[in-house]
Structure 1
Amino acid sequence: MEAFYNYFETIPPAHRSLILVSGIVFFWVLEYMIPLFKLKYKKFKHAGINIFFTLTTILVNFPLAFLLLKTSDWTLANNFGVLQWLSPMPLWAKVLLGVLLLDLISAWLAHWVAHKVKVLWGFHIIHHTDHQVDTTTANRHHPGESVLRFAFTCLGTFIVGAPVAIIMIYQAFSVVFSQFNHANISLPKKLDTVLSWIIVSPDMHKVHHHYKLPYTDSNYGNIFSVWDRLFGTFLKLPSDKIIYGVDTCPNEKENSNILSLLRIPLRKYISHQEVEVPSSNQS
């Protein structure tokens, strides 16, 4: 455990990029082998749009990274944060608790806020405009939302008092789990159900991408499913009932255009509405 911890404490940027790329490639291949839906789309063209937003996220996070490191250094220097206030514990327990709390604040809470604050929803809606959800959808975030999520990661680091190693471990797991639960893969239903009691499984998260309420406002988790169960935001919906997209932006052609997606937050009115969407994910 100590070697694992030490590795992430000084993990090179190239290794972090390798984790991101390896996850996409692995789940991309798996989607061909055990697809959940036979999606009607050109996989490479679809991936190109989402990879563009992956690159914008990297461009946003890279110059801001020093703020995250400064926040972590300050909490350690001033003995501030949950991990600093608790009695000494085994390293594995410290890492697990740190990742749990960072997942709550940096992922679940940030996601919940993005749905509840109208201005922020205008940025987050880009993630929901994907009509063909697959592993690349995990990285489909407007640059404005990337700033929001970075701010919540800093907030989580501040509250938790997280050392750099735990932040890097959390971010590595966050990337891989997001790719996993967005992937267009079909797991045995019993296995998916068992997994969903501990982590966010593919079937659990796909419900969040159903095109209308109340399902859009459910299952906010990224790594651990406990937060949705604890805060009453966990919902189920059979896979064959799921229709991807979002009711307020139903035009799939516009939602496949990068410039149109970037302009969505500038529109005067973006909110949840119930409209009929005739298409389905299944062929």
Structure 2
Amino acid sequence: METLIHYFETIPSSHRSIILVSGITFFWLLEGAVPLFKFNYNKWKHAFPNLFFTATTIIINFTLAFLLLKTADWVQVNNFGLINWLPEMPLWLYVLLGVMFLDFFGAYLAHLVEHKVKPLWMVHLVHHSDHKVDTTTANRHHPIESIIRFIFTLTGVFLVGTPIGIIMLYQSMSLVFTQLTHANIKMPKKLDKVLSYVIVSPDMHKIHHHNLLPYTDSNYGNIFSIWDRLLGTYMELDREKIVYGVDTFPDEKKNSNLIELLKQPFQGYRKPTNMNEV
């Protein structure tokens, strides 16, 4: 475990790029071998806007990475944060709790808030408006959302008190998991169900991409399914019944156009007249 954490403390940017590209390539090929849905689409054309948003996410995260490093250094020097206030524990448990709590703040909580706050939902809508969910959908986030997600992750680092090694491990795991859960792969139902008791399985997350409520507002997790199960946001739906997209934004042509997607957060939004609408 010490070797693993040391590696992620000093992980080169090139290695992080390899994880990203290898994940997309692996799941892209797997989708062709065991697809969940047999989409009739030009896969490269569909991937273009999604890969563009993947690139903007990388640029934003790379540009702001120094804030994560500074925060991680500060919490360690000052012994600040939840996992640093707990009784002494084995390293494996310290790492596990660090990753789990970062998963809560950086993924689950951020995702939940984006669904519940109307202006943030309009930004997050870019991710949900994909009608052909596959592994390239994983990082289909408007640049504004990439900044929002970064802020939640940074807040998590501060509150949890995680060192940089655990942060890099979490981000690498988060990247692979989001590619897995969006990949258009057909996993045996029993295996998917068993996995969903511990981690977010592909079928579990696909339910979140169903175009109708209440399923859209469920299964917010990224790595661990515990947060949805504990906080009452876990739902089940037969995967054959899943229809991707958002019922209130049904135009697939617009939802596949990069320029339209960049404008999407600012379309159809009406400023609330009172706080009860937020």
Question: TM-score, normalised to structure 2's length?
Answer: 0.96
Which residue pairs with 2:274 in the alignment? none
Aligned length: 271
Q: Please give the secondary structure, in 1, of the residue aligned with 2:178.
A: helix
**SS at the partner of 1:212?**
coil
Within a 5 Å distance, the mapping from 1:172-191 to structure 2 comes to: 172-191=172-191
Q: C-alpha root-mean-square deviation of aligned residues, in Å?
A: 1.1
Task: Kindly indicate whether the alpha-carbon contact (under 8 Å) linking 1:122 and 1:270 is maintained by their aligned counterparts in 2.
Answer: no
Aligned partner of 2:19 in structure 1 is: 19
Q: Which runs of 5 or more structure 1 residues have no equivalent in the other structure?
A: 272-283
Separation in 1, partners of 2:8, 2:124: 29
2:216 aligned with 1:216: yes
Identity over aligned residues, as a percent?
A: 64
1:129-278 aligned within 5 A: 129-269=129-269
Q: In the TM superposition, what is the alpha-carbon distance from 1:87 to its structure 2 partner?
A: 2.0
**Structure 2 Cα separation of the partners of residues 63 and 239 of structure 1:** 38
Instruction: Report the equivalent of 1:10.
Output: 10
Task: Return closer, same or farther for 1:179/1:137 CA change in 2, 3 Å cut-off.
Answer: same
Distance in 1 between the 2:199 and 2:270 partners?
31
Number of the residue aligned with 1:29: 29
Give the whole-Å Cα distance in 2 for the aligned partners of 1:40 and 1:131: 11
- 2: CA distance between counterparts of 1:28 and 1:270? 38
Residues 72 and 157 in structure 1, CA contact (< 8 A), matched pair in contact too: yes
What TM-score, normalized by structure 1, do the two folds share? 0.94
Instruction: Give the Å deviation of 1:177.
Output: 0.4
Contact kept in structure 2, 1:118 and 1:270, CA below 8 Å: no
1:158-190 CA deviation, whole Å, 9 max, x = no partner? 011000000000000000000001110011110
How far 1:269 sits from its partner (Å)?
Answer: 2.1
**Cross-structure match for 1:278:** none
1:269 and 1:246 mapped to 2: Cα distance? 15
Q: Tell me, yes or no, if the aligned pair for 1:121 and 1:270 is still in contact at 8 Å.
A: no
Moved over 4 A (4+): none
2-structure distance, mates of 1:4, 1:250? 45
8 Å CA contact 1:221–1:228 kept in 2: the answer is yes
Could you tell me which runs of 5 or more consecutive residues in structure 2 were left unpaired when the two chains were aligned: 272-278
Per the TM alignment, residue 103 of structure 1 is displaced from its structure 2 partner at its CA by 0.4
* Equivalent position of 2:79 in the other structure: 79
- Amino acid paired to 1:7: Y
* Equivalent residue letter for 1:26: F
